[in-house]
Amino acid sequence: MLRLGGKELFSRFLIGTARYPSPETMRQAIEASGSEVVTVSLRRYGSGKWDSNAFLNLLKEMQLNILPNTAGCYSVKDALTVSRMAREVFNTDWIKLEVIGDDYNLQPDPFGTVEAAKILIKEGFEVFPYMTDDLVFAERLLDAGCKVLMPWAAPIGSGRGPANPHSLRTFRARFKDVPCIIDAGLGKPSHAAAVMEMGFDGVLLNTAVSLARDPVEMARAFAMAIDAGRKAYQAGMMPEREFATPSTPVVGTPFWHQEKK
């Protein structure tokens, strides 16, 4: 069971709603994922190629938890405005806070993100902050009142998978009592399994599913990988070694290899 924003969730897969070929494909992919939380951009919701009301009604029919995001915001002011509008449109205090600081890799602005988080939390929002794996950045967000951390594995849409596994393992160990969701950079189900094996609490992704040749099957594959990674983490994986160790004991066996003369 995963507890986020005051709600208990069975699924550890949070999925996006952008760039699907059709609303029906999106619906089927979300169902295949088993996700109970979907992210929605207010900007895309209001200006996309699909009918906005039909899109929102579809999500409501599926009885999903909607996590609006502030994608495309490059300033604190814009992020605050979009967050407040999203609360009215989607009737939720949840917000995935994104304050972008760099055009090249869409890296978040740590100063702007922390500033916006402080304001939104005072206004009663549950802030889900998009961030890097920087430990100081994380500490400042927790000090601001965030109850969940969402570090990236790699830049948004890159599909590279964990760019710095050591940093992610350090991040997870440092904030072991805080729900931590990997947000951005995963391109393959194996990437999702890898971060779940590190002990992360869940995965949020969009592009790897929506742009797949078969988004529905890809959503199903990611769901299975996330579940497998979580089970492996809970079961306790064997430690890595620098040398070979036989799985079958050799002491006491009747035959021994002898050196040829």
Tens of pLDDT, residues 125-137 = 999 999 999 999 9
Integer Cα distance of 16 and 191 in angstroms: 17
Please give the share of the chain, as a percent, with pLDDT higher than 90.
77
Surface-to-core class of residue 157, CB atoms within 10 Å of its CB (0-12 exposed, 13-18 middle, 19+ buried): middle
Least confident of 53-67, 150-164, 210-224: 53-67
Query: For residue 261, is pLDDT > 60?
Result: no
How far, CA to CA in Å, does 3 sit from each of 24, 29, 60? 29, 23, 21
Looking up tokens 């529905």, which residue turns up?
Answer: 216
Catalytic residue among 7, 49, 77, 96: 96
The per-residue pLDDT for 251 is: 63
Integer Cα distance of 69 and 169 in angstroms: 26
> What is the phi-psi region of residue 127: left when phi exceeds 0, alpha when psi lies from -120 to 50, beta otherwise?
beta
Tens of pLDDT, residues 197-250 = 999 999 999 999 999 999 999 999 999 999 999 999 999 988 888 888 777 766
At residue 37, the 3 state secondary structure works out as strand
56 pLDDT tier (thresholds 50, 70, 90) = confident
Is 96 among the catalytic positions? yes
Task: Compute the mean pLDDT over every residue in the chain, rounded to the nearest whole number.
Answer: 91
